[in-house]
Amino acid sequence: MSSRPPLRPLDDAMADLLARARPLAGAEEVATYEADARVLAEDLVSPLQVPPQDNSSMDGYAVRSAEIADEGVVLPVSQRIAAGQAGTPLQPGTVARIFTGAPVPQGADAIVMQEDVEAAGDDVRILRVPDAGQWIRRSGEDVQRGAVILQRGHRLGPASCGLAAGIGRDRVRVAPRPKVALFSTGDELVMPGTVPPEQMQPGAIYNSNRFFLRQLLVRCGCEVSDLGIVPDQREATVAALRSAASAHDLILTSGGVSVGEEDHIKPAVQQLGSLDLWQIAMKPGKPFAYGTVGDAHFIGLPGNPVSSFVTFLLLVRPFLLQLQGASQLQPVAIRLPAHFDWKRPDKRREFLRVRRDAGGGLELFQNQSSGVLTSTVWADGLVDVPAGQTIARGDLVRFLPLAELLA
Ligand code: AMP
Ligand code: MG
C-alpha cells in the first residue's frame, strides 16, 4: 500500500489558498444599473445630504408648533407645497398645505397630518396639538455630505446600487471580473441534449457539474469560458490546459483529481506548471488540487457532484471574491438547534445538508452521500460538524446559510 499524505485541515487549506489569491490588477468603470455582484474598487463619498432638505413624511399641514398650544386652533392656509416644489417661508399665523416628500418651508417646525385637521371655511382647524419636529424627515438623516456610504471591497447588491444612485452615482469603479476557464473531465460524461436518456450507454452519466459550476462562477462575478468536457487522456488534458492558461485568471476543473490511473489532471498540470494535490480533511470533498499553469491559477475540484458543489462554496468562492478585493469572504454562520441526531463521528470535518424547519431548528437530509445532488437542492444550508463529533437532537450547531453562499 502506498503511504498517504496526512489530511490537511480545511482552515489550513483555506489560508493557503487565500494567500495565493492576490487581487487582480486594475479596475473598470461600470454603470451602477449593471453593477450587481461587482466589488467596489473605490470608496463612495457622498457629495450631498440625503434627503437634501427637511421634508414632510405625511400629507398634511406644515405649522409653527408654538402657535398651536391647544386643540381647535383655526389658521389660514397661506401656500401649497407638493413634492418637487420649493415653497416659500411660512408666514406667521398661517399653515402650509404640504404633501409627502415636499420640503418643509422655512419657519415651520412640525407637520400635522391631514387626518388631524378639519376644514373651517377657507381655514383649517387643528384637532391635535403637534410636537415640535413631528413628521419631518431631516436633511442628511440617511446620508451626510462627505460620508463614505460604501467602502472599497463592498460587494454591490440591489440595496447598495440603490444607495449609490441616491448620491447621484450613475457609474462606479469596480474590480475586474475574474476570467475563468471551466472544464469537466471524465469519459463517462455526456452533455445533456446530445444523447437522449434512453440511448445512454452503460456507465454513461450526464454532466451535471458543468451546469452548477458555471452558474456559481457567474454569481461570484466571473466571466466564464466553458470549455466543455475534456477526455481522460493526457494529451487532450495538456492541450486544453495550455490553451486556457493564456487568457484566463483561473482554470477550474471538476473530476480527475483523485489518484487513480484515469486521473490525468495531476500529470498534465505538473507538465505545464506546478500542482499541489491537497487531501483536505473535509467531507464531502476530500480531493482538491491547487496549482498554476503559466500565469493562471489552477483549481481542480472533485468529480462527485456534492463534493464539487460544497468545495466550490467553501474554498473557490472566497478565493474568487478575494481576487476581486472583496472585504467579506465568508458567510455569517449562525447557531441553530439540531432537530436530528448524528451518531457517526468522522475523522474529517463534515458539512451536512440540512434545512430549517418551521420550529426554528434544522432537519437533516437522509442521504448524505457525495453523489446525491438532490440533497443540495433540498437543503437551505450546511451544518459544520467538527471532526470526531456527534450531534444530539437539541444541540446548537453551526449553520451556514446557502442563501449567503450562493449570493
Ligand atoms: P472523479 O473525481 O473523476 O473520480 O469522479 C468521481 C465521481 O464523480 C465519478 O462517479 C464520476 O462519474 C462523477 N463525476 C465526475 N464528473 C462529473 C460531472 N461533471 N457530472 C456528474 N458527475 C461527475
Ligand atoms: Mg473521472
Which CATH number do you get for residue 384? Answer: 2.40.340.10
Question: Which ligand is closest in space to the CA of residue 260?
Answer: 1
Domain limit, last residue, from 88, 122, 137: 137
Domain limit, last residue, from 80, 108, 137: 137
| Number of domains the chain is built from | 4
Q: With respect to residue 221, please indicate whether it lies within any of the assigned structural domains.
A: yes
Phi/psi at 403 (5° precision):
-55, -35
Which CATH number do you get for residue 182? Answer: 3.40.980.10
**Within this chain, do residues 304 and 374 fall inside the same structural domain, yes or no?**
no
State residue 128's pLDDT score.
Answer: 97
Q: Comparing C-alpha atoms, which of 108, 113, 114, 82 is closest to residue 95?
A: 108
Q: With respect to residue 121, please indicate whether it lies within any of the assigned structural domains.
A: yes
Which CATH number do you get for residue 74? Answer: 2.170.190.11
| Residue ID of nearest Cα to ligand 1 atom 15 | 303
Question: Which ligand is closest in space to the CA of residue 301?
Answer: 1
* Lookup: cell for 77: 392656509
- Vertex 36 angle, CA 406 and 15, to 5°: 50
Q: With respect to residue 1, please indicate whether it lies within any of the assigned structural domains.
A: no
Please identify, by atom number, the ligand 1 atom nearest to the C-alpha of residue 304.
8
Q: With respect to residue 251, please indicate whether it lies within any of the assigned structural domains.
A: yes
Give me the residue label for grid cell 485541515.
9
Report how far ligand 1's centroid is from the alpha carbon of 198 (Å): 21
Q: How many CB atoms lie within 10 A of CB 79?
A: 17
The low-confidence residues of the chain, meaning pLDDT below 50, are 1
Domain that holds residue 162: 35-47+144-174
Q: With respect to residue 328, please indicate whether it lies within any of the assigned structural domains.
A: no
**Within this chain, do residues 297 and 391 fall inside the same structural domain, yes or no?**
no
**Within this chain, do residues 156 and 185 fall inside the same structural domain, yes or no?**
no
Q: With respect to residue 268, please indicate whether it lies within any of the assigned structural domains.
A: yes
Report how far ligand 1's centroid is from the alpha carbon of 210 (Å): 11
**Within this chain, do residues 62 and 169 fall inside the same structural domain, yes or no?**
no
Report how far ligand 2's centroid is from the alpha carbon of 17 (Å): 23
**Within this chain, do residues 164 and 231 fall inside the same structural domain, yes or no?**
no
**Within this chain, do residues 275 and 207 fall inside the same structural domain, yes or no?**
yes
**Within this chain, do residues 235 and 270 fall inside the same structural domain, yes or no?**
yes
Give me the residue label for grid cell 450531534.
391
Please identify, by atom number, the ligand 1 atom nearest to the C-alpha of residue 185.
16
| Cβ 179 vs Cβ 223: under 8 Å | yes
Please identify, by atom number, the ligand 1 atom nearest to the C-alpha of residue 229.
19
In a mutational test of the pocket of ligand 1, which residue from 209, 211, 280 has the highest number of ligand atoms less than 8 Å from its CB?
Answer: 209
State residue 184's pLDDT score.
Answer: 94
Residue ranges lining ligand 1, Cβ < 6 Å: 184, 186, 188-189, 205, 207-210, 254-256, 258, 302-305
Of all residues in the chain, the percent with pLDDT exceeding 90 is: 94
Q: With respect to residue 30, please indicate whether it lies within any of the assigned structural domains.
A: no
In a mutational test of the pocket of ligand 1, which residue from 215, 261, 264, 304 has the highest number of ligand atoms less than 8 Å from its CB?
Answer: 304
State residue 77's pLDDT score.
Answer: 98
Which CATH number do you get for residue 155? Answer: 3.90.105.10
Report how far ligand 1's centroid is from the alpha carbon of 277 (Å): 17
Domain limit, last residue, from 323, 357, 387: 323
Question: Which ligand is closest in space to the CA of residue 302?
Answer: 1
**Within this chain, do residues 308 and 188 fall inside the same structural domain, yes or no?**
yes
State residue 2's pLDDT score.
Answer: 53
**Within this chain, do residues 317 and 243 fall inside the same structural domain, yes or no?**
yes
Q: Comparing C-alpha atoms, which of 260, 259, 258, 290 is closest to residue 274?
A: 290
| Residue ID of nearest Cα to ligand 1 atom 16 | 303
pTM: 0.93
State residue 277's pLDDT score.
Answer: 79
**Within this chain, do residues 255 and 357 fall inside the same structural domain, yes or no?**
no
Q: Comparing C-alpha atoms, which of 373, 374, 375, 400 is closest to residue 385?
A: 400
State residue 214's pLDDT score.
Answer: 98
**Within this chain, do residues 275 and 317 fall inside the same structural domain, yes or no?**
yes
Report how far ligand 1's centroid is from the alpha carbon of 76 (Å): 80
State residue 1's pLDDT score.
Answer: 46
Report how far ligand 2's centroid is from the alpha carbon of 255 (Å): 5
> Any idea how long the chain is?
407
Q: What is the 3-state secondary structure (H, E, C) of the chain?
A: CCCCCCCECHHHHHHHHHHHCCCCCCCEEEEHHHCCCCEECCCEECCCCECCCCEECCCEEEECHHHCCCCCEEEEEEEEECCCCCCCCCCCCCEEEECCCCECCCCCCEEEEHHHEEEECCEEEECCCCCCCCCEECCCCCECCCCEEECCCCECCHHHHHHHHHCCCCEEEECCCCEEEEEEECCCEECCCCCCHHHCCCCCEECCHHHHHHHHHHHCCCEEEEEEEECCCHHHHHHHHHHHHCCCCEEEEECCCCCCCCCCHHHHHHHHEEEEEEEECEECCCEEEEEEECCEEEEEECCCHHHHHHHHHHHHHHHHHHHCCCCCCCCCCEEEEECCCECCCCCCEEEEEEEECCCCCEEECCCCCCCCCHHHHHCCEEEEECCCCCECCCCEEEEEEHHHHCC
**Within this chain, do residues 348 and 262 fall inside the same structural domain, yes or no?**
no
Question: Which ligand is closest in space to the CA of residue 208?
Answer: 1
Report how far ligand 2's centroid is from the alpha carbon of 20 (Å): 26
Q: With respect to residue 388, please indicate whether it lies within any of the assigned structural domains.
A: yes
